[in-house]
Structure 1
Amino acid sequence: MAPALALLLLCQVALYTTVTSKNVCGRPDVADGIEELTLNRVYEVGDQVNLVCERGFLPSTATPRKLTCTDTGGWTPSDLACSREFTGPLDSHSAGAILKQLEFLNCYNHPKVEGVSKTGEKSRCSHDGTWSNPPPLCKAVNCPLPKSPRDGRIVFDKPVTGSTTMYGQGWTYECNPRMAPSYERGSCMADGSTTEPPLCREVSCTIPTGIPNGFITFAVMRQHGYKETVKYACNEHYILDGEAEIQCQNSGNWSSKPVCRVPCAVGIKRGRIFYNAKKLWIGDLKPNRVLHGEHVAFYCLNRAERCGYPVASTCNDGTIPIPECFEEPGKVEYTLRAKTLPSEITMCATSPPARPA
């Protein structure tokens, strides 16, 4: 019986050796810069692999770069090398370049852009080490002085001398009283032209209206002209959010009104909080009111360490979230065992990561 068993095992070993004796090739070793993501882990004899360089690398040879898996389990040699290629500056007019980055072609010092590329056009560093777009030609630009609007004037951002102004110079159009320009800004442009003057026309805004939980501090209840203003304030304990003063714009509309944000009531009946640099029992917060944007800390229990830690919450327009970790004590615990509450026991050295309130 034993010889038969040994013979059976010997046959199995011989069969396994026969089945697995065929050589295969593993993933070929490649140099830096050669793309590896497309390579398999195992290849059979006769399989071929085309090697390519990674983006941003240039090949050392233009000849075929194929490797073949041989019956010895090795690969045929390859002389391919991939070198990192930095694209040089476009020329003296460009700002230089960095590999794989987009180069913005801009002119500085009051430019005028001529040629194929326009101001702000992008040129990409190509795989072959060249730029996708030629550089622009930058020349100084001067514009004739702009024309003033009828029934108005021009106010330059910077003093102007002579009969021309430089590229990038800006100005504001103003109209006579009770009139507004159809647009307010102008400039010397890259093509050497200036903005056409706007039209001056009478503009008025509707009678200003109040805001919830607030009031107009002073205004005559009438229509208002261009650039006239109205100022708002909030009722006591409400917080003004936005610009207090609104202005009648050249469109005939008021600028955005402010909003009066609502105070919050702290929504717990029992427990201690930290507010305005003080540790308070909730019953001592009189009145129960926290202003918009103010912070209140609630005390939570770290059960593992048996220590307490504060978690802050912020009043946001009438709502102050209670942290999930906060557990409001019962009446008996609050009355008879107050010293065991998280706010009264030892504070934790570090607070555990708090879940969002």
Structure 2
Amino acid sequence: KKMAPALLLLSLAAVFTTVAPAKVCGRPRVSDGVDVSSMKRVFEIGEDVTLSCEQGYSPSTATPPRITCTATGEWTPANLACSPRMCQIPRPLQPFAKGRTEAPFKSVLNFSCDDGYVMVGANESRCLHDGTWSHPPPLCKGVNCPLPKPPREGRIVHDKAVTGTSTIYGQGWTYECNPPKAPSYERGSCMADGSATEPPVCRDVSCSIPPRIANGVITFAVMRQHSYKEKVKYSCLEPYTLEGEAEIQCQNTGNWSSKPVCRAPCEVGIKRGRIFYNGRKIWIEDLRPNRVLHGEHVAFYCKNKAEKCGYPVASTCNDGNLPIPDCYEQPGKIEYNLRSKNLPSEIRMCVAPPTANPTSPPNPA
């Protein structure tokens, strides 16, 4: 009776020994592109698996490698890399591919057309396993609009010759009314939604007496109200310079187009020195009158003291203001009259001027 517990323990040990599971291998861990679709979930020790690449991938080795389930439950190394097949990006689309000329298997190209164009073809294309695209690039065809209707008391002048009964997106035209009437708006076009601009209304329009401009006069015009598209011309008094269009026109809104401005000349604000103006060097006292016109350029001579050479710095007359470069140093009377050969304008010119030359008002001598 005392031996019974020992026998029970031995029998239990025997039970546990017989049901202990054997080592097995799970499905091998492989890199992207390796075909695992036909693999089992569990493999016995010593079982082999031949690895291959999925459709659309190329193997790194010529011979398909084999891996084996070892007694430790691990697989032998898998020396296989699968690279995706590449599709050549269509040449017209390469400028949009950020320098790339190829796309890998499973890539998708999405296409769209600009406003005013409709797509003819597929709106996407996929890189297939054989290195081709599922669809060719589509075409973007301009939207068609019906021919525009002219105003009741006028006509249409097309920018380009039109044939048939329709026009294409982006094409434009001008509306004209029978004189002296003016259209409520002058331009029309074929729009992105396939519709043409509705015709304007022709109406009587006049502009007020032409405005005067400072330091200028109106030429070839009677001081009266003017009708649509009538013009007047301006000129400036000496020595002012006209900026803008010399002629202004009465517009369909009843307003004049932008009038010009007369810009003032500039005085060269130095007492002593030599400048470069109108293609030649001039001593300032020989500039008579001391005046340059608006928009004209004047070069002042500065000195690079380290290199002992001179260099010109340009300045532009802007409506009465001619900035003097900061680097310009006005010479004293003795230096100017007795040692003028040492002035920056007279010594050797520098090969290259300094990188920056700010301008500011001149310092008094």
Using structure 2 for the length normalisation, give the TM-score. Answer: 0.62
Shift of 1:181: 0.8
Deviations 1:326-345 (A, max 9, x none): 10011222222222222222
Shift of 1:272: 1.2
- Matches of 1:281 and 1:104, distance apart in 2: 68
Shift of 1:82: 11
Is this contact kept in 2: 1:172–1:184, CA < 8 A? yes
AA at the equivalent of 1:99:
A
Shift of 1:201: 0.9
* CA RMSD of superposed structures (Å): 4.0
Partner residue of 1:172?
Answer: 174
Q: 1:349 to 1:156 in 2, by over 3 A?
A: closer
Deviations 1:21-45 (A, max 9, x none): xxxxxxxxxxxxxxxxxxxxxxxxx
AA at the equivalent of 2:167:
M
Q: 1:252 to 1:188 in 2, by over 3 A?
A: same
Shift of 1:139: 5.6
Q: Which SS does the other structure have where 2:336 is aligned?
A: helix
Partner residue of 1:99?
Answer: 97
Q: 1:82 to 1:116 in 2, by over 3 A?
A: closer
Q: 1:227 to 1:87 in 2, by over 3 A?
A: farther
- Matches of 1:313 and 1:86, distance apart in 2: 58
Query: Superposed, which structure 2 residues align to 1:137-286 within 5 Å?
Result: 141-162=143-164, 164-168=165-169, 169-286=171-288
- Matches of 1:103 and 1:212, distance apart in 2: 60
Shift of 1:262: 1.1
- Matches of 1:81 and 1:267, distance apart in 2: 78
Q: 1:317 to 1:196 in 2, by over 3 A?
A: same
Partner residue of 1:295?
Answer: 297
Is this contact kept in 2: 1:113–1:190, CA < 8 A? no
Shift of 1:104: 8.2
Shift of 1:138: 5.0
AA at the equivalent of 2:196:
T
Q: 1:308 to 1:159 in 2, by over 3 A?
A: closer
Is this contact kept in 1: 2:184–2:200, CA < 8 A? yes
The count of residues paired between Structure 1 and Structure 2 equals 269
Query: Superposed, which structure 2 residues align to 1:8-23 within 5 Å?
Result: none
Using structure 1 for the length normalisation, give the TM-score. Answer: 0.63
Is this contact kept in 2: 1:95–1:105, CA < 8 A? no
Between the aligned residues of both structures, percent identity stands at 68
Is this contact kept in 2: 1:149–1:200, CA < 8 A? yes
Deviations 1:285-325 (A, max 9, x none): 11000111111111111111222222111111111111111
Query: Superposed, which structure 2 residues align to 1:336-355 within 5 Å?
Result: 336-355=338-357
Structure 2: runs of 5+ lacking an equivalent = 1-79, 100-108, 125-136, 360-365
Is this contact kept in 1: 2:112–2:119, CA < 8 A? no
Larger radius of gyration: 2
Q: 1:328 to 1:182 in 2, by over 3 A?
A: same
Deviations 1:194-223 (A, max 9, x none): 221111111111100221111111111111
Structure 1: runs of 5+ lacking an equivalent = 1-78, 118-122, 124-134
Q: Which SS does the other structure have where 2:337 is aligned?
A: helix
AA at the equivalent of 1:192:
G
Shift of 1:176: 1.4
- Matches of 1:142 and 1:100, distance apart in 2: 33
Is this contact kept in 2: 1:229–1:248, CA < 8 A? yes
Deviations 1:216-237 (A, max 9, x none): 1111111111111111111122
